[in-house]
Amino acid sequence: MFKQNGLSLDQAPPLTVVFSFFFLASLFGILAGVLLFFYGKQIFVAKSMAAVTFTHVLTLGVMLSFMFAALFQMLPVIAGVSLSSPQKRSKLLLYPFVLGVLSLLLAFNLSSSWLYILSGLLLGLALFGILIPMLSKLLTLQNHSPSSKGMTLSLLSLLLVLLLAFYLLFSLSGLNDATYYAEVKTAHYSFGLFAWITLLIISISFQTIEMFYVTPEYPKLVTKYLGLGLVLILFVSSVLSFFHPNIFFYTDILMLLMLSTYALLTLKRLSQKKRPLSDATVWFWRLGLVSLLFSMLSVLLQYATAYPPLKALSYIFFTSFALSIVFAMFYKIVPFLTWFHLNAQGYFTAPMMHEVIHPKTAKKHLYIHVTTLVTFLLSLYISWFIYLAAGLMILSFSWLAYQIIHAHHLYKETQKTGEKFSMNITQDITQSSN
């Protein structure tokens, strides 16, 4: 099933490591929905405190938590490397990370200098403490696949995002004169959205699309150069922006072409899948890819027209892209891991994957997610829809949280009451066959 040598229980991190980050992402998603009741449509005003807070709840709280869950699990599968003491490392990451995110959100809302400094220290401790070991493993890997190369570039970009964030935090806390605040802020969110989040999704998809859905391979040109091209474009444009602020017009066009090409290629591959049935995860992928196309189109149209909602549309569709993909991955990873760990421990009564999360359950969440997207779009024209979107957002992430609790309960219940393969039975079968 995997292009590496497969996944053994020795390589795989403990189930609680992956589940804890998935659960944390769900809690931050619920928090985002709650905050939306207070902020309303202010989240669409780019420079407002509401927009900055809401964006960081989604990127740091939700997306980064999802990404760490996926990385702990996917590094052994895609890159063939695993971290030593993953449970200890995850705890050393989890606690300062949560406190760092919460202190940053408070700092945005209270404009507190010491909270900015505290959040920087906590997030630096947490993220440097996990990024350095992950990158050291990836950078010393002898045989890289396109996915592992992309993951390496994505994590290097996240490291740069963190360094740029320190400059912004020092500026906000008054520790420097903020001379280049605007340029650094642009580089910070550009690398965050496109070189970290988007590139990580693209890199994982190079293997998982083919693996999960049995599709043709991506063109070698795409897998070899797309990730590197994205990072180079962002790096060059960020440096040149200090001297030529209008450079982003040209780089936006290049990014639009590259990401749109990726989205169309992936949609085509999903249409060529050899498995005839389309479960909810396929539609999550399709929704995410179409959302990416609409997000890129919205960016392009901003250069051609002054239609006010276009910037908000680009935000909504990009968020839909990122969340749709992580939801698709969630519904593949959680049932498989629950079954895999129990099966590897010898429980022949281990629940099958469809018993952990039934396909109809995932499909119901797809409907909730689509409805949430529609209500966000409608809120641009009918203000009260933003509160309906807030409620649906809480429901969506609460749905995810329940699936994790349910899967963990099944896991523990099977360990407590389940039956294991008997060595005596194995010996009897061996003897009778002889």
Per-residue pLDDT tens for 68-117? 888 887 777 666 666 777 788 888 888 999 999 999 999 999 988 999 99
Longest dimension (CA), the chain: 82
For residue 316, what pLDDT band results from cuts at 50, 70 and 90? very high
* 116 within domain boundaries: yes
- Give the pLDDT confidence score for residue 430 in this predicted structure: 39
Over residues 171-180, the mean pLDDT reads: 83
* 42 DSSP assignment: G
- Torsional class of 275: left (φ above 0), alpha (ψ -120 to 50), beta (otherwise): beta
User: Is 80 exceeded by the pLDDT of residue 427?
Assistant: no
Task: Quickly state the pLDDT bin for 393 (edges 50, 70, 90).
Answer: very high
Helix (H) or strand (E) holding 39: helix 15-39
In a domain, 173, yes or no: no
Q: Tell me, what's the pLDDT at 179?
A: 82
pLDDT of residue 420 exceeding 90, the answer is no
Which residue matches tokens 């060529």? 272
Looking at per-residue confidence, does 182 or 432 come out higher?
182
Q: Which domain holds residue 374?
A: 288-416
344 CB neighbour count, 10 Å cutoff: 14
Final residue before a domain boundary, out of 111, 143, 175? 143
What is the rounded average pLDDT of the residues 373-381?
96
- Buried b / exposed e across 133-166, counting CB within 10 Å, b at 16+? ebbebbeeeeeebbbbbbbbbbbbbbbbbbebbb
Q: Is the pLDDT of residue 266 over 50?
A: yes
- The domain boundary, picked from 92, 119, 143, lies at 143
281: left (phi over 0), alpha (psi -120 to 50) or beta: alpha
Phi, psi of 93 (to 5 degrees): -85, -45
- Structural domain includes residue 333: yes
**pLDDT attached to residue 100:** 95
Describe the crossing of helices 220-240 and 247-271 by its angle, rounded to 10 degrees: 160
Which of 146, 196, 199, 207 has its CA nearest to residue 7?
207
- Domain C-terminal end among 85, 119, 143: 143
The H or E element spanning position 365 is helix 359-379
Return phi, psi of residue 127, to 5°.
-75, -40
The answer as to whether 381 is a domain residue is yes
In tens, the pLDDT along 114-142 reads 999 999 999 999 999 888 888 888 888 77
Residue 172 lies in a domain: no
pTM (predicted TM-score): 0.90
Task: Specify if 268 maps to a domain.
Answer: no
Please tell me which residue, 241 or 228, carries the higher pLDDT value.
228
User: CA torsion angle for 132, 24, 187, 223 (degrees, to 10)?
Assistant: 70
266 burial (CB, 10 Å; 0-12 / 13-18 / 19+) is: buried
- What's residue 3's pLDDT? 41
CA–CA dist 327, 396 (Å, integer): 10
In the predicted model, is pLDDT for residue 424 greater than 70? no
In a domain, residue 429? The reply is no
H/E segment holding residue 89: helix 86-110
259 domain residue, yes or no: no
Number of domains in the chain: 2
267: confidence class by pLDDT, cuts 50, 70, 90: very high
Pick the closest to residue 322 from 146, 190, 159, 200 (CA basis).
Answer: 200
Residue whose token pair is 């280049």:
180
